[in-house]
Structure formats: C-alpha cells, structure tokens
Chains A and B, each alone.
Chain A
C-alpha cells in the first residue's frame, strides 16, 4: 500500500467520523437463519434435483402451517364464540364523477403500439394520478441525462382508447421526487415535490406553482410523504414521517396534514391517543367504505412485520387493523418501501402492491385478500404467476374499475381485482426480444449517457422464477413468470465477477443447449431474464479480454454468430459471455443447462 499524503489522512479521518453514528442493532444469527432457510445449500446429487428437494419440505411446511391454522381457527372459535366480526360503519362519501367510456371505444384492447409515449423507462415517471372528470391518467416523465434531471414532460393516458398524449403546458414543474393526487373538489391534480406544491388543470393544460411543502419539523432528518384525497372535506391529506426517539431501529410516527389548494394552506391534523410508529415509513389511501385513512406502515428490521392502521379523519383516532398485515417484500425477501397503495372503488377495498403482487384490505370486514397468488402461510404476499415484468401499481382507474400501472418496455397493464385478470393496455417496447431456437434476439438501442447494465429478473426467494425463451418481449408475462422482481446488474460489476472468474466451468455445446426444449418440470427451480440496456465499449472490451485465462471453453455458432460458452457446474447459476457482438447468458440447475438467451449487442 502506498503511503498516504496529508490530505488522504485527513480524508480517512473525516470518513471515519462521517460514518460514526450508523445503526448498530442487528441480529446476525436471525438474519443468517432467514437467509439459510430461504436459500438452503444443496449438495452432491441433490443439487441436480434441487427443485424436487425444495418441494418436499415446502409441502411439509404447508401441511404443518395448515394444521396450525386449523388449530388456531378452532381455538379462536372456542374463545370468541359467536362474536360478530368487527364492522366499521359503512360510509360512502362522494369520491367524484367517473366517466364511462364512449361507445365505440375498446378499453380492453391494447392501444397502438407505435404511438408516442413517455420516452423513458417507467421508473423515471412520477407517480400517476387519475383525473376523474377528464377520465385520464396524468403523469410526469422526468428526463434523465445520466443521473441528472434535465427536463420534465406532462403526459396523459386515455383509459378508453389506451393512448398517451403529450401535453404542452406553458411551464412544467422542475424538481423531482414527487407525489401526485387528484383533487376532485378543485378539479386539479396536486403535485408535491421535495420543495414545492403545484396544481395541474388538465382542461386548461396549465401548471400553477402554489407554494411550499408543509412546515415540517426540520429536526427530523428524513421525511417521506404519501398523498390521499378526502372527499368529505375536499382536501388533500399528506402523511409524512417524523422521527421518533427510542432505542433500536429508527421509527417514525406519522405527521398528517391537510392541504387546501384553494387557499394554498397546510393544516396539521391533530391526532388523538396513541399513534403508530414504523421503522421505514407509511403509504396512505382514503378508504371510502369505512371513511378512514388506511395507513400501511413498513418496518425493516429482521422478521418485523408491516402494520396496517386506520385513521379516523373526523376524530383523529388511530386503530390498528386486526387482521395480519401482509408483508410486501422486495426481491431479497425483505419488506419493500415505499408501498404502492390505492383505493379500489368497485370492490370497496384498499390495495397495496409490492414486487410480489397486490393484496386488498377490506376495512369493513378487517380482512386481507391476496389477489395475485396466495398467502404463503407467513402473512406475505405470494407471487402468483401473472405479474407483468416490472409492473408498478400507479393508480386506480374508476372508469374501468381496475388498477393501472407501468411495466417494462414502457408498457401499460391493468389488473382487475374483481376478476384477477391482467389486461394489456399498451404493449411494451424497447426491450430485448428473446430468440426462439437459434434466432438472435434484438438488443435494446442504448441511450447516450446510460450506464451499461443488465436488467435482471431475479428470484425473490429460493423458489426462483419461471422463465421461457419467449417471455421477455414486452408482453404480459402472464403464464411464464413466477416469483421474482426486477433488479439491475451493471456489466463488469462485482456481482458478475464471481461468474467471470469462477473455476469449475466446463465446455458446453451452445447449439445443442439453445435447441433443447425447456423442461417444464424445472421452471420452478431457477431462471433469470435479462435485457440489455446499453453496453459501454470499454466494459465490453474488458469482458472480451478472456477473463477465464486457460480455463476450457467451447466455441459454437448460433444464428450465424460465433459465441464462446461456459457452463456452471457447481450449484445453480448462470453464465454470461460476450463474443464479437453477441452477448450470451445461460441458466443451469447445477448439472444441466436449462435455458439461455443470445442477444445481438448494439
């Protein structure tokens, strides 16, 4: 190690001070057990039968849990007897008009795929809101150059014709980090950014800068907002988190405000009695069936469950939901934040969504319903087959009575909580078309300034995800993808290094591999899907620089392209290799190849 100069020593000292007050509470053993339980090691011959090996204990666990559930139900019945279930007074205040689609429109048919649409990846869009008077979604598209926002565009989406329209107001908000909510009473969409409040009048196509955000106590270091609309008062309700003192994980209690756009005033809502506090934060929605604000609070410490609470906006009283709150998890199996939460008018339920699909809360019956799969027995939303890739539940469409959100490839999908059916409102595009047989796929056109990275559909738990060669073409992956979530993996990253430097790889015949039909019995074992989002020439050159040294490899021809192939032989995994202008990756279950994709690099 070379000797440091004075500045480097000062920098080191400053960094040590900079990180001195970090969190310390952590149960390493509990975490290790959680990880080991979710991803048990496989040994020897068992590794080749991993999907069977997992299935047996899962069945046993399910039976055990069912037995426990049955016992609990019997015990509960004995204890509670004929006590009536808790029902809140059913109040159905007006939530504003919702148009019906004009005759001749086909809201269930995808809009024209070649139409103009927000040009950028879905996650750069702000939250969407539904303008009930116009019958259109309002969305802001933040334009990034690298990591910097260089522009904002206002778009609307017609849910009857499934078409985007680029709006052209004289001015548009400029700051990022925003939440949108439609104010029925004032017929404007309210935007709260990190600094300002704006109002958008869709009819006039004008943005108006209203004022500043609520005067939040700045002794709190980090606050996150969630917005809802209260149709009884006609005011917007904002929930923020104020840091609560106490040992262990940082917890925040909700600070609630109303916003009156007519007078541009924020007013704190007084809370009566004990209030909840969460480790991460909260998402809120107004539940018209119960006239309550539903607050979905997220915790993050190991094994801490999320909590749903109900807030009475008229009395200021909090009450905790009695039903076990589902944990909406990210693809590592931990509670995801922030939650996506909307109220479903038609079913009179509040729906939350994570990477694992939606779950609906019936406030009047105090009951959660898992909409995209089933309860895994641990109060968590189970990924059922059918969640479109990268889908985010952005808003509720009262015209057609369904949840609407964006997904991979700038597509738009709707989910009907009543029928549990997905509808493609707009096909995605700008994604990799995986090859069939030995046909090369088309890679995504890279955008200048983008970091090279792979989009990966990763397993959310040990069960992995299902995958086929034809599943990532911007279509709803309704029958092809199971558990999992989207993640990013930069080319040449440390994540890939273990694969690039791993011993134990052996030759494989790519032609044979690609031509091998998928073994459907293995689709629950492991799979992963990539789309190429742009490849940096320097990284590509590094990948091409023979990182394997003298380790054996094979050359094969696929679709007229020469590729070099390696195969993972120890445990489940995938290989990635690049040759000439072809990127290749492949999945194995430990002993044999399951599937692979070859994509032409730009």
Chain B
C-alpha cells in the first residue's frame, strides 16, 4: 500500500473524527481549510458575496451538526461543497421572503471584454444569472469545485447519468449564451 497517498486521508479522517467528537480546534481547521472554497461555490449559486457568506455560515453550522454522521471522512470536501451549494439555494429563497431591496449595478472591473478566447466576466455573470439556482449549483460543483458527476450525484440524490444529462443541457445553454456554439 502506498502510505504516502494514504497519509492525507488519515489526517483528514483524524481531524473529522476529532471535530465530530466536539473538538472545536479540529473543526476550526476544517473551517479554515474549506470555507473559502465553499464561499466561492455559494457565490456562483447566489451571485452575491454577502449571501454566499451567509450560506457558507449556514452550511458550516450544518457541517458541525452532521459531522458525526459522515460515513467517509475522506469525502468531507465534496460533502461540504454540496452543502454550501444547497444552502446558497436556500438563502436565495429566504432572501426573497425577507424582501431585501438590492439595487445592483453591474460593474466589471476587469474591462468590457476579455482578450482572446476567454469568457467575459459580465457575459458569464449574465449567463449564470439566467440559469436556475439548481443549475448554477451544478455548474459550481462541477466546474469550480471540480467534483465529478458520480460525486455530485451521490451528494444530490441523483444518478451520475442524470447529473451528466443535466450538465449537458446546462452546457448547451451556456455555449449559446456565451457565443460558443
């Protein structure tokens, strides 16, 4: 057995076990390691940094509660990403009911368009905005968190083929929106 590849998993498992047992320092390590990426995933879903942070806080709260039931500690990262994406969707719904008046101005600090074949940020923002929250969550989990379809499926209650099918449709949509077809 290749112990060098096993060691990180053992460390993760140990940290998760400690956190599950109530070790707040171990939980802090998990938070520090994964929160930034969770916020980014939540941002792709929500389109708002404040909401993304709210969603991530909620997701970490859930993580604290549910860590004892996490069967495979090495799957911690994909699990956290999926919970963050899901909480971002939930926060979006709550946001509507809390009736925030948000006047948003699209400012693209990176310029009007990106050079070469890069996708422009304003175009990407608009294209994401036109997707539903669930599809944005799929995009975030697949193309930002880089989970594969099987992982996404197991975390969202879908089959891997179902995830691939949905992602394929979303990609087709994005290709058209971003002028790639």
Is the pairing of A and B real? Answer: yes
CB distance from A369 to the nearest CB of B (A): 24
Interface hub of B94, B125, B171 (most chain A Cβ within 10 A): B94
Do B119 and A36 have beta carbons less than 8 Å apart? Answer: no
Do B68 and A14 have beta carbons less than 8 Å apart? Answer: no
- 24 A-B contacts (beta carbon < 8 Å): A7-B175, A14-B118, A18-B124, A18-B128, A24-B36, A26-B31, A29-B25, A31-B57, A32-B27, A33-B28, A39-B65, A41-B68, A124-B96, A222-B104, A222-B105, A224-B103, A250-B50, A332-B57, A332-B58, A495-B83, A495-B86, A497-B156, A498-B66, A570-B69
Binary contact readout B91-123 vs A (1 if CB under 8 angstroms, 0 otherwise): 001101111111111010010000001110100
Contact of A31 with B105 at beta-carbon distance under 8 Å, contacts A22-B43, A36-B64 already known: no
Within 8 A of B (CB), among A539-587: 542, 570-571
Chain A residues near B35: list those with CB within 8 A: 26, 28
Closest to A19 in B: B40
CB distance from B74 to the nearest CB of A (A): 16
Name the one of A8, A10, A179, A490 contacting B118, with C-beta atoms under 8 angstroms: A10
Do B101 and A192 have beta carbons less than 8 Å apart? Answer: yes
The yes or no answer to A280 lying at the interface (CB within 8 A) is yes
Name the one of A8, A123, A494, A504 contacting B99, with C-beta atoms under 8 angstroms: A123
Q: How many residues of chain A get a CB closer than 8 Å to chain B's CBs? A: 80
The yes or no answer to A419 lying at the interface (CB within 8 A) is no
The yes or no answer to A108 lying at the interface (CB within 8 A) is no
Do A213 and B103 have beta carbons less than 8 Å apart? Answer: yes
Contact of A222 with B125 at beta-carbon distance under 8 Å, contacts A32-B31, A35-B60, A498-B69 already known: no
Do A177 and B101 have beta carbons less than 8 Å apart? Answer: yes
Closest to A179 in B: B101
CA distance A456 to B86 in the complex (A): 16
Chain B residues near A33: list those with CB within 8 A: 24, 28
Name the one of B32, B102, B140 contacting A222, with C-beta atoms under 8 angstroms: B102
- Chain A residues with a Cβ under 8 A of chain B: 1-2, 7-8, 10-19, 22-24, 26, 28-29, 31-33, 35-36, 39-41, 43, 121-127, 147, 177-179, 192-194, 213, 216, 218-225, 240, 250, 280, 300, 332, 334, 337-338, 453, 487-490, 492-495, 497-498, 500-504, 542, 570-571
CA distance A571 to B68 in the complex (A): 9
CB distance from B40 to the nearest CB of A (A): 4
Do B64 and A218 have beta carbons less than 8 Å apart? Answer: no
Chain A residues near B2: list those with CB within 8 A: none
Chain B residues near A222: list those with CB within 8 A: 48, 50, 102-105
Do A22 and B49 have beta carbons less than 8 Å apart? Answer: yes
Do A332 and B99 have beta carbons less than 8 Å apart? Answer: no
Chain A residues near B139: list those with CB within 8 A: 11, 15
CB distance from B59 to the nearest CB of A (A): 9
Do A494 and B107 have beta carbons less than 8 Å apart? Answer: no
Chain A residues near B25: list those with CB within 8 A: 29, 32
Chain A residues near B28: list those with CB within 8 A: 28-29, 31-33
CB distance from B13 to the nearest CB of A (A): 17
Do B97 and A18 have beta carbons less than 8 Å apart? Answer: no
Chain A residues near B132: list those with CB within 8 A: 147
Within 8 A of A (CB), among B7-51: 20-22, 24-25, 27-29, 31-32, 35-36, 39-40, 43-44, 48-50
The yes or no answer to B174 lying at the interface (CB within 8 A) is yes
Q: How many residues of chain B get a CB closer than 8 Å to chain A's CBs? A: 79
Do A17 and B110 have beta carbons less than 8 Å apart? Answer: yes
Do B97 and A127 have beta carbons less than 8 Å apart? Answer: no
The yes or no answer to B138 lying at the interface (CB within 8 A) is no
Binary contact readout B127-147 vs A (1 if CB under 8 angstroms, 0 otherwise): 010001100000110011010
Closest to B27 in A: A32
CB distance from B116 to the nearest CB of A (A): 10
CA distance A35 to B24 in the complex (A): 8
Do B60 and A221 have beta carbons less than 8 Å apart? Answer: no
Contact of A8 with B171 at beta-carbon distance under 8 Å, contacts A179-B101, A337-B100, A494-B156 already known: yes
Chain B residues near A2: list those with CB within 8 A: 148-149
CA distance A240 to B102 in the complex (A): 10
Please give me the 9 A-B residue pairs with the lowest Cβ-Cβ distance, nearest first: A123-B97, A41-B22, A32-B28, A14-B119, A28-B32, A19-B40, A36-B24, A28-B31, A29-B28
Give me 12 other A-B pairs in contact (C-beta within 8 A), A11-B119, A11-B178, A19-B144 excluded: A15-B124, A19-B40, A33-B28, A121-B97, A124-B97, A224-B103, A225-B101, A337-B98, A453-B93, A489-B90, A494-B83, A570-B69
Do A497 and B157 have beta carbons less than 8 Å apart? Answer: yes
Contact of A31 with B118 at beta-carbon distance under 8 Å, contacts A22-B52, A488-B93 already known: no
Do A19 and B44 have beta carbons less than 8 Å apart? Answer: yes
